[in-house]
Amino acid sequence: MSDSVIAAIIAGTATLSASFLQLRSAALRDAGKPGAAARRKSRLQRIVFLVIVGGSVVSGFAFSQWLTQGERAAQGALQKELQARIAEVSHTAGELEAPRAAERSEIETGVLRRIGGDGVAVAATVPACRAGAAGPVTTPTSTAGAAAPARACSEAEATPVTLCATIPAGATVTEVALFSRLDDTQTPWSASRYLPGQESAQARFADKYSETAPEAGSRQVCQTFAHWDAEHARVVRVLVRYSL
């Protein structure tokens, strides 16, 4: 119980005790007085006592309600003020978060644009082609113990390799540059460029690149490469440039 309710209970108890003592004293004084007048007086005193008890209960309850009303009002005002402060803090946090989100998005877009201008490169090493068992095998005359040369592959026997570069879903592809060189050479990439569909040194890129459907904010640009050289491995590189 709150302090106000306890104070009301104490006040009511004190009032009842005082009334009871007064009634008891009056009853003792009238105990030796016989007659109807004494009985009427005793009855009147009991009625007064009950009235005092009822009044004490009502007044104690009213007093406790009056005391707690102020506390409830103060508590309600404090709660409203706290809710207003929370709403203000939430609003301020939202206002601060909006510029941060916009700034972060702008920075991310700038980085993606720079990457798109430089290009997204993917590379792979394609081993020398290994022809199947079917088909003629040419074994030239050689001295004993000499190893037979590997049988040449045809383009149909080559295993295509697909290279995919990941770009943003909303990007526009501006260029797909294709490069290939022998694995054991250091020829500059600028001197090793291929055109789509161009055959050179038993290697060929597909005529067109393909794209996958956008997923999770990105998509892939893929290019297929076929290599049927039976003696040398090749390094293949695809560079995809895009704009936002």
What does the block give as tokens for 112?
């993606």
pLDDT at 141: 38
At residue 122, does pLDDT exceed 90? yes
What does the block give as tokens for 203?
């290697």
In the DSSP assignment, the letter for residue 99 is: H
pTM of the model: 0.55
Element (H or E) spanning 202, and its range? none
pLDDT at 144: 41
What does the block give as tokens for 46?
């009991």
- Which of the pair, 11 or 180, is modelled with greater confidence? 180
Q: In a 3-state reduction of DSSP, which class is residue 180?
A: strand
Cα 208 from chain centre? 39
User: What is the per-residue pLDDT across 77-91, written as a single tens digit (0 to 9) for each?
Assistant: 888 888 888 888 888
pLDDT at 26: 66
pLDDT at 75: 83
Q: In a 3-state reduction of DSSP, which class is residue 53?
A: helix
Percent of the chain with pLDDT over 70: 75
Average pLDDT estimate for 17-36: 66
Contact 200, 181 (CB under 8 A): no
> Following DSSP, what letter does each residue of 27-45 receive, concatenated?
HHHHTT--SHHHHHHHHHH
Cα 54 from chain centre? 64
Q: How far is Cα 240 from Cα 118, in angstroms, rounded to an integer?
A: 9
At residue 137, does pLDDT exceed 50? no
Q: How far is Cα 194 from Cα 234, in angstroms, rounded to an integer?
A: 13
Mark out the alpha helices in the chain (DSSP H runs). 3-30, 36-118
Element (H or E) spanning 122, and its range? strand 120-126
Q: How far is CA 223 from CA 52, 177, 215, 239, in A?
A: 102, 10, 19, 10
User: What is the per-residue pLDDT across 37-93, written as a single tens digit (0 to 9) for each?
Assistant: 666 666 776 777 677 777 777 776 777 777 677 777 888 888 888 888 888 888 888
Q: How far is Cα 15 from Cα 223, in angstroms, rounded to an integer?
A: 99
User: What is the per-residue pLDDT across 186-216, written as a single tens digit (0 to 9) for each?
Assistant: 889 999 999 999 898 899 999 999 999 988 8
pLDDT at 142: 39
Mean pLDDT of the chain: 80
